[in-house]
Amino acid sequence: MSSPDGMPPLSAVIRAHDLAAKKELGQNFLLDLNLTSKIARMAGDLPGSDILEVGPGPGGLTRGLLMEGARRVVAVEKDRRCIAALEEVAAHYPGRLTVIEGDALQIDPLEHLTPPIRIAANLPYNVGTELLTRWLTPPSWPPFWTSMTLMFQKEVALRITAKVGDDHYGRLAILCQWRSDPRIVMHLPPEAFTPPPKVHSAVVHLKALAQPRFPADAKVLSRVVAQAFGQRRKMLRSSLKPLGDVEPLLEQVGIPPTARAEEIGLEAFCALARAVAARQT
């Protein structure tokens, strides 16, 4: 029996290539092409974009992206066992899929991609958060990508999209919302994956802003936010002590020195970062 794209179903691909999921590679596969096509559509204008896919595995999301018309997909996969299965997908879509065997944390596939570039991935959660942080902190802004559509553990998705006052508000919310517009676009129960993970998942779509939401130096903002949330229960006047005498700066930008990090919004953190940077120069 074939699938909507005329290729064998993913369960047959997994059997034929002996791709039993490996826990150490965070392998929880999506086998329903209707679902992967739906995720692919969340990525935005596929026919007008090159897609960087990280961790294609047996190719469920890859096939969804290609079926939905992606101009070109460059897929980076660490598990050598998956490469032959992915090459079959490449042969089914001549000239539209480039498969690269490698560790996405080590290699830079940009030379294979032409802008506009969108990122799509269902990655192991630790690798996903590490790459998300790197993609949001490039040497200059705007970044090489237009949008990112990424699967995360639900808890991480809530941390990415949390607003001031929410339980999940913290460093990740500020990092993501300063230079992008993140939205949860889909929730997935464990049973959507094979094998099912222990936790619920969510797809987050992050659209790059042309420029940061509020002006600030990226390194100074990151340092201020790291100090503030490093001891989130403490008042800012003590948690920020390692940055020097910040009380006058807090007052200057209208933040009560007795406030705690979780009460301070992105705009105020940016104002504080500007004040800290101005004192340094």
Structure tokens at 133: 């942080």
Assess contact for 164 and 264: CB atoms under 8 A: yes
* C-alpha span between 97 and 46 (Å, rounded): 13
Give the number of residues written for the chain.
281
Among 37, 72, 90, 122, the residue binding ligand SAM under the rule CB under 6 A is 122
State how far the Cα of 253 lies from the Cα of 36, in Å rounded to an integer: 46
Task: Return the residues of window 253-272 that contact ligand SAM according to CB under 6 A.
Answer: none
- Give min distance, CB of 53 to ligand SAM, in A: 7
Write out the binding residues for ligand SAM, residues 218-247 only, by CB under 6 A: none
Among 5, 25, 116, 170, binds ligand SAM (CB under 6 A): 25
Q: 105 or 278, CB closer to ligand SAM?
A: 105
CB of 197 to ligand SAM, least distance (A): 8
Distance CA 177, CA 171 (A): 10
Binding mask 65-104 for ligand SAM (x = CB under 6 A): -----------xxxx--x--------------------xx
CA 237/CA 220 separation, integer angstroms: 17
Residue 118 touches ligand SAM, criterion: CB under 6 A: no
Q: What are phi and psi of 247, to 5 degrees?
A: -55, -45
Listed in sequence order, the DSSP H helices in 55-123 are 60-67, 83-92
Closest CA to 170 of 263, 276, 70, 39: 263
Applying CB under 6 A, does 153 fall inside the site for ligand SAM? no
Asked if 19 and 82 count as a contact pair (C-beta separation under 8 A), the reply is yes
Closest contact distance (angstroms) between CB of 72 and ligand SAM is 17
Part of the chain binding ligand SAM (CB under 6 A), chosen from 42-50, 118-126, 166-174, 273-281: 118-126
Site residues (CB under 6 A) for ligand SAM? 25-30, 54-57, 60-61, 76-79, 82, 103-105, 122-124, 127
- Binding-site residues for S-adenosyl-L-methionine sit at 28, 30, 55, 77, 103, 122
